Every structure is written in C-alpha cells, then in structure tokens.
A and B are shown apart, each in its own frame.
Chain A
Amino acid sequence: MDYHANYLKKFEKRTFFMLGDEAAAYGALFARCNFFGGYPITPASETAEIMSRELPNVNGYYVQFEDEIASIGAIIGAAWAGGKTMTATSGPGFSLMQENIGYAVMTETPIVIVDVQRSGPSTGQATKPAQGDVMQARWGTHGDHEIIALAPNSVQECFDLIIDCFNLAEQYRTPVIFLMDGEIGHLREKITMPKFSDVKIFERPKGKGDKPIFGGELIPPMVEFGEGCFVHVTGSTHKESGMRDVESQDVHEKLITRIYDKIESNREKIVRVEEKYMKDARVAVVSYGASARPSLGAVKKARRKKKKVGFMRLITIWPFARKQITELGKKVDKIIVPEMNLGQISREIERFVDCEVISVPKIGGIAHSIDEIYEKIAEVV
C-alpha cells in the first residue's frame, strides 16, 4: 500500500495558515520522507513535532535521539537501509552534526538536514533568528568537499524547496542542507499544498551490486542493506568497491575529486536565483532567506522613487551562484548585500566581482527593516 499517497490525500490542493517549520515537515512528507531522527531545539522543534505526529500515519518512523550526533548518525544508517531520511536542528545542534555531515559526504549518502538558523555563536540568542550558519554549512565539516544548501524565504518555499532538497540528495547522492532561519521557521503565513501525484520525485538510482558502489561513474548507483551485495560503507578513504585504502595517494585523490566534481560539474544545473527589476539596474541588492524580504521591499520603494535598483535572491546558497554573480558584477556599479550576519555572503560575492560590494549586516535577532536597507540604497543611487 502507498501509505504516503493514501494519507496525504486529505491535504491535497488545500490552503493552510502554518509555520515555516511545519511547512518544511509537510513538504518532506510529500517528498516521501519515511524516517526522521531528531533532538528538540528552538527554533526547529516544530518540524520534529509535526513529524512525530504524521510519520506514523504514513507508516514512517520518528525517533527522538539522545543528541544531534545520534540523530544524524541514525538518518545515515536508515538511508543505507533504504529510507528517505531527514533531521532538523538549529545552530548548536548543527555544530554537533558536522562530523557526520562529512561522513555522509564521504559515503555519498542522500540525507536532508534542516538548519533553522538562530543567533549565535554558542547558545547566543536562542529564540532569535539569524543567518550565521551560511559558512558553517559550506565548511563546517573538515576536509575538501562540495555541498548543496537551499534557503527559503517564505512558508510556501519551506514546503516546495524541501522537496527539491530530497530530490537533489537522491540525484547527486549527497547530504543536502536546508538553510532556513528562525524568522522564516517561525513565520506563519498562507501555503497551498499540491496534488500528491503532481509532486516530482527523483527516485534513488539503485544498483544490483554488480557495479562499483563508490566509483566507476560520476554518480554511482546505491545499493541497500539486505540485498546480498555485502556492501562495505566507510568514512575512511576507500576504493570503488568500498574497501578501505587509506595509504594510496591516487585512491584518495580520485575519490575526493569525483565527490567534489559531481556537484561542481553540475553547478549550473543546481544553482537557482530569482531576479527582479534587473533590466536597467545600476545597483543591485543581493540577499537570501528572511533578509531577502525587506531587501525586495526596499528595492520596490527605491523603484517608486525612480532609482535604478535591481534585486537578486539566492535560492541556492551552495554551490554558490558564481556565474550569475560574476555577470551581475559586470552589469552594475554596486552590489548591496543585506544579511543577518556580519557579511558572510557579502565576502563570497566580493570574490567574484570587481564592482563595489556594500555589506548591510544585521545581528541581534531582529530582521532588517525596509527603511534600513532603503537608506543604504539611497546613499549610493
């Protein structure tokens, strides 16, 4: 029986007023998630609460673990046992998960990690939103790797984009980070759920164990435990067969380069940006997630005052929209970057443009106001 299709019928094509955290949980269910491992943390707990309520209804499994390390470990194990798996956390839990994110990268395990960012470092302002984990999502785990991270800026996108996260995880056999923030996670607004059968699902390519599971092609097919393949999964450097080889330089280089390339060589397929008012723009405001909302408001206000300002929103944070930002840098004179940290993406943009980049940081748990961003625009145009 298709438990997901059966149960989720009652949500189809209906409109709800819900939290971003809750929408992310329902999006995951529409993506056929059937295992959630988690640990309570503000402001991500509502995702776990919905999953604990709904997963048994679709014959899936919610397990609350003793910590975030166990949570991500379990979803990796469950993925190798055939599950579509996720966890949800915030900064402190995301920090604890970093080692096993690297394990998922190294073992090419499709999992989704929701990080509803809050104000840090450390316990910080536990109940307040921030976007301070942008670079941690990129480089938090040790060693060379690429990563995919998406950032929603509405409750509807929490639903829609987490489905994309699951699809990207399966397509590229990699962990995917859903970089929400406390502002969006705890925002309550209207969302409409689609027809279940209309949701596009990328099915996990499955091998029979006759071909290498860890090489041979850019993205090798996975196998599942219990199918007689005697698969050997290890976070140590391994040969295409999966067997450990931690001595050979060429084995390590080949493995890491391939894992890196499967995202890097597909960068343009993965990257998504949203552009508005760009046609005649001399200045562009680039933002993402919650801070993209007042950013767009400020651009609209500037347009009303006949200022030639454009707007670009990064939907994918990683891999970085290198090509789009490079082109933008050639088109405009200045790029304004509002974000709820001290300039993490602003510095990334600086790497790819020659024009002036103006960081508009905001920390302390409050989102930018439209006027704060508008004033920065008005200073330069």
Chain B
Amino acid sequence: MTAKHKHRLMKYLREEILPSKFCAGCGCGTVLNCYAHAIDEMGLDPENVVSVTGIGCSSWIPSPYLKCDTLHTTHGRPLAFATGVKVMKPDMDVVIIAGDGDIAGIGGNHLIHSARRNVDMSVFLVNNFIYGMTGGQVSPTTPIGHRTTTSPYKNIEHPMRIAELVATAGATYVARWTTYHVFPLMESMQNALKKKGFSFIEILSPCPTAHGRRVGMREGQDFLNMFKEKAVRVEKAKDMTEEELEDRIVIGKFVDREREEFTESLRRLNRERINR
C-alpha cells in the first residue's frame, strides 16, 4: 500500500504496527473491518473511544490495531476495568472487543454483572469456539463432539449460549451475528454503539488454524459456508422447536429495551447528595 492510495479507514488503525498477525482465514480481520466501517459511517471520533480488552486472539483487534485509547487488561477482566473507566469518563465511548474464552469463560461473572448493572458500554464478543492463542484447547463454547487438543476423545460438555445469557442478565441491547453476515453486523455494531446501556453482540468467527483443522474445516471459507447454512433468524426461530433448532445458529437482534444506565444512576445519586 502506497501513501498515495491510503485506505480511508486507515485513520482508525495504528498504522505503524501493520500488517496484522491474524492467521489466514481468521475472522478477526473481518470484525476489525466491520468495526472500522461502522464507526466511520457513524462519524464516531476515535479520540473519544476507549477500547478495553483482555487476553486472546480477538483481544488483538483493539490491542494494538485500533487507534484510540487502549487498555489491554488481564485475562477475562476487561469488563471490570471498563466499568472503572466508564464511571470516571461517562462521556467517552467504551468499546470492548474480546473473545469467548476471555469474556464468557474466565470472565463470565463480570459479563453477568456488567449486564445486570447496565453499564453503558458496547461489547463485541468474538466467539471462535476455541482457545486459539494457546493452541486450540476446548472452550466453554466448543460444540459437543468436537475434537480439540484438550478434548482428544471429543468434547462432552454442552456449549454456552452467551447471547441468551446476557439477555437474561439485563443488557439493553443483545444480538448475535457471524462474520458471514457482515452488513447486518455493521448495522448492529452501530446500533450497539448508539444504545445507552450495556450493548452486546456475540460474533461467531472462524478459527481454521486452532479449531477448524481438527474438525474438517481447514479453510475460513468452510466456516462461512457453515454459518450461512446453519443460520436462522431469531424471528423465524421463535416458531421452531428446540429439536429443530439443535445444530442451528440463531442470528439477529434478541433484545432492544430501555433501562436506567448505571453511571447515570450514580450521577443522579451524587446530585441528590450534593444539592441536599
């Protein structure tokens, strides 16, 4: 890429660190691409964004690639760190992009409670069904029957339904998309960023390197085909039985509601105390 033909979205990236280290076929680049398009279209000022993330491949989307204030935290804890940031800087857009092992696995408790508190932040959870960075160990989202490096006789655990959990926990906006559904995903990201309160998108994303190659999906394209074939819209899924939905991926918007946001409640309390 020459300076003459600099991509219009390059301004959202830490250019000096490129090219990215994502594997061929990885979905992280697609998520980064969707996010950059989404904020560009919205006119979101990167100087007003704090991206908070944890440990794992998808944590590399914001750290180091996104050009904004970046807090690359310990494994599983980005939502806790982000709550501290948002309370002190309520006017900033707090964006979390991290993985299933990070946010839903080791940090699952923070996910439930951040949604319950309804802290104004946008969480984009990249679910690649595996602990990819450490070499492909079974994760809380790995489908039953999948062979991984730590489920050599095939996974016997039921996978976590993350979006459904977050909806129950009290988030104001919840959706699930895949890296195949890029245009709805971009639109959904914008809705999440605009929404006051805890906004959450579970993004199903391929990991051919650490997951796919052990389950017969060696190419990123294999995952995209699978996403396309298995996806069923949430509106349609409502009329389907649990058996019919087994082995399907329910996509779309699960929740879009109003609840008082946490940092606003804190500020209301302070006004009441100070103006007593």
Contacts and interface: CB of A to CB of B under 8 A. Distances in A.
Nearest to B116: A66
A92 B103 CA distance: 23
A79 B71 CA distance: 12
Interface SS of chain B: helix, strand, loop or mixed? helix
Interface in A122-165: none
Nearest to A229: B69
B74 A233 contact: no
A226 B83 CA distance: 15
User: Of residues A69, A71, A231, which shows the largest number of chain B Cβ atoms within 10 Å of its Cβ?
Assistant: A69
B74 to A, nearest CB: 5
Contacts of A74: 80-81, 83-84, 87
A99 B47 CA distance: 30
Contact of A82 (B74, B88, B272): B88
User: Of residues B63, B87, B88, B274, which shows the largest number of chain A Cβ atoms within 10 Å of its Cβ?
Assistant: B88
Given A225-B50, A230-B67, A81 B74 contact: no
Interface residues of A, number: 44
Nearest to B62: A232
Contacts of B89: 81-82, 225-226
Contacts of B64: 232, 243-244
A78 interface: yes
B113 interface: yes
A73 B274 contact: no
B68 A230 contact: yes
A59 B274 contact: yes
A56 B273 contact: yes
Interface string A215-251: 0000000000110111111111000000110000000
Contacts of B50: 81, 225-226
User: Of residues B52, B79, B85, which shows the largest number of chain A Cβ atoms within 10 Å of its Cβ?
Assistant: B85
A208 to B, nearest CB: 14
A369 interface: no
Interface string A307-326: 00000000000000000000
Interface residues of B, number: 40
Interface in B234-276: 266, 269-270, 272-274
Contact of A73 (B17, B81, B87): B81
Interface in A25-82: 34-35, 37, 56-57, 59-61, 63, 65-67, 69-71, 73-82
A85 B84 contact: yes
A61 B88 contact: yes
Interface SS of chain A: helix, strand, loop or mixed? mixed
B70 interface: yes
B110 interface: yes
B168 interface: no
A366 to B, nearest CB: 36
Interface in B46-79: 46-48, 50, 52, 63-64, 67-74, 77, 79
A364 to B, nearest CB: 34
22 contacts: A34-B88, A56-B272, A57-B273, A61-B88, A61-B270, A63-B84, A65-B83, A69-B80, A73-B73, A73-B84, A74-B81, A75-B84, A76-B81, A77-B52, A78-B87, A81-B88, A81-B89, A226-B69, A230-B70, A234-B72, A235-B74, A243-B64
Given A56-B273, A75-B84, A81-B87, 19 more contacts: A60-B270, A61-B88, A70-B110, A76-B81, A77-B52, A77-B84, A81-B88, A81-B89, A83-B88, A103-B74, A225-B69, A225-B71, A230-B14, A232-B14, A232-B72, A233-B71, A235-B73, A243-B14, A244-B64
Interface of A: 3, 34-35, 37, 56-57, 59-61, 63, 65-67, 69-71, 73-83, 85, 99-100, 103, 225-226, 228-236, 243-244
Interface of B: 14, 17, 46-48, 50, 52, 63-64, 67-74, 77, 79-85, 87-89, 91-92, 109-110, 112-113, 266, 269-270, 272-274
